[in-house]
């Protein structure tokens, strides 16, 4: 049996009423964005309500922002796909491909926010962070994460790695290897963290390839 890890992201933010099945709505849609509510992929529309278990994907030039009923915000860059597995006191987002920004308000004790990806699990405490797939190795891929605000605790159950990532820091989550020590990472400030179109541009145009190479050469091996 293959070893499995999950990325568990735990944050603290204020409670809000959850309508059964109703996970949130799309507050920004640009380019190629689709939603699959169990009946195949359909073109997404601004203001569209999305439900638990819905899949959302962006194309080569797509960006979408999702306001979750649990109080968190998600932003998908191009060529990304997620599943809204659970939204409520316990929120779980499965990242199938690409990359996603998360902004989580303060929660009360007992609430959780999780992001899971492929065969890895990471545990996080924090308010604003970015998660992405890196280089693919056979059937798996390295992952990486950086934090803009707050603190994120990342746990890799396959290697028993456990590290705290602070604001301005980044880490590689390598395949079947210990997570290296986080380091101050100036590139985190170059990302477009904005999730409010009324406050300016929300599309992130930074080069993921360039950032990933920068991570690898800065003692993340």
Question: How many beta carbons lie within 10 A of that of residue 209, not counting itself?
Answer: 10
**CA atoms of 112 and 87, how far apart (whole Å):** 10
Work out the pLDDT band at 10, boundaries 50, 70, 90: very low
Work out the pLDDT band at 185, boundaries 50, 70, 90: confident
Question: How many beta carbons lie within 10 A of that of residue 106, not counting itself?
Answer: 12
Work out the pLDDT band at 122, boundaries 50, 70, 90: low
Work out the pLDDT band at 19, boundaries 50, 70, 90: very low
Q: Is 14 helix (H, G, I), strand (E, B) or coil?
A: coil
Per-domain residue ranges of the chain: 22-36+43-217
| CATH entry, 22-36+43-217, from 3.40.309.10, 2.60.120.1440, 3.30.9.10, 1.20.120.530 | 2.60.120.1440
Candidates 127, 120, 186; CA nearest to 152 is 127
Q: Are 207 and 99 in contact (CB under 8 A)?
A: no
- For 115-161, the DSSP string reads EEETTEE-----SEEEEEEEEEETTEEEEEEEEEESEEEEEETTTTE
Does 197 score more than 90 pLDDT? Answer: yes
210: part of which helix (H) or strand (E)? helix 208-217
- Average pLDDT value over all residues in the chain: 81
């Amino acid at each position: 049996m293959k070893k499995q890890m999950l990325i568990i992201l735990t944050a603290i933010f204020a409670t809000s009423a959850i309508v059964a099945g109703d996970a949130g709505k799309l507050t920004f849609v640009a380019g190629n964005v689709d939603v699959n509510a169990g009946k195949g992929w359909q073109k997404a529309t601004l203001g569209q309500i999305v439900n638990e278990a819905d899949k959302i994907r962006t194309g080569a030039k797509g960006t979408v922002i999702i306001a979750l009923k649990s109080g968190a915000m998600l932003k998908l860059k191009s060529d990304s796909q997620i599943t809204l597995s659970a939204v409520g006191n316990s929120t779980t987002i499965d990242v199938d491909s690409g990359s996603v920004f998360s902004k989580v308000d303060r929660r009360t004790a007992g609430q959780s926010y999780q992001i899971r990806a492929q065969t890895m699990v990471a545990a996080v405490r924090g308010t604003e962070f970015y998660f992405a797939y890196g280089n693919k190795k056979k059937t798996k891929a390295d992952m990486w994460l950086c934090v803009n605000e707050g603190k994120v605790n990342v746990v890799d159950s396959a290697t028993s790695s456990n590290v705290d990532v602070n604001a301005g820091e980044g880490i590689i989550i390598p395949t079947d290897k210990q997570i290296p020590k986080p380091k101050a990472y100036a590139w985190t400030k170059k990302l477009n963290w904005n999730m409010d179109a009324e406050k300016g541009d929300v599309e992130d145009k930074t080069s993921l390839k360039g950032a990933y190479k920068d991570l690898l050469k800065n003692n993340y091996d």
